[in-house]
Amino acid sequence: MCFGGGGGGKTNRALEEQNRILQEQVEEQRRFNEELIARQEAEAAEREGRIGSATGAVNRAFSNRDDIFNRLRSATFRLNRNELEDARDTSRRDTKFALARAGTLGGSVDVDKNRDIEDKFNQGILNAQSFAQSSADSLRSREDQIRNALLAIAGSGNVSGSQLSPQIADALRGTQAAASAPSVIPNISAPFAQIAQSIGNLAVLSGLLPQSQTAVGSPDEFSGFNINNPGRRFAGTES
Q: Look at residue 16 in the predicted model and tell me its pLDDT.
A: 82
Cβ distance 146 to 40 under 8 Å? Answer: no
Q: Looking at this protein, which amino acid is placed at residue 206?
A: S
Distance, CA of 213 to CA of 207 (rounded, Å): 11
- Quick one: how far is CA 91 from the chain centroid? 32
Q: Look at residue 45 in the predicted model and tell me its pLDDT.
A: 85
DSSP character at residue 131: H
Ranges assigned E (strand) in the chain: 225-226, 229-233
Cβ distance 92 to 156 under 8 Å? Answer: no
Q: Look at residue 7 in the predicted model and tell me its pLDDT.
A: 59
Distance, CA of 117 to CA of 112 (rounded, Å): 9
Q: Looking at this protein, which amino acid is placed at residue 105?
A: L
Q: Looking at this protein, which amino acid is placed at residue 120?
A: K
Q: Spell out the per-residue pLDDT of the chain, length 239, in tens.
A: 445 555 566 788 888 888 888 888 888 888 888 888 888 888 888 889 999 999 999 999 999 999 999 999 999 999 999 999 999 999 999 888 888 887 767 778 788 889 999 999 999 999 999 999 999 999 999 999 999 999 999 999 999 999 999 999 999 999 999 999 999 999 999 999 888 777 755 444 344 444 444 444 444 443 333 333 333 333 333 33
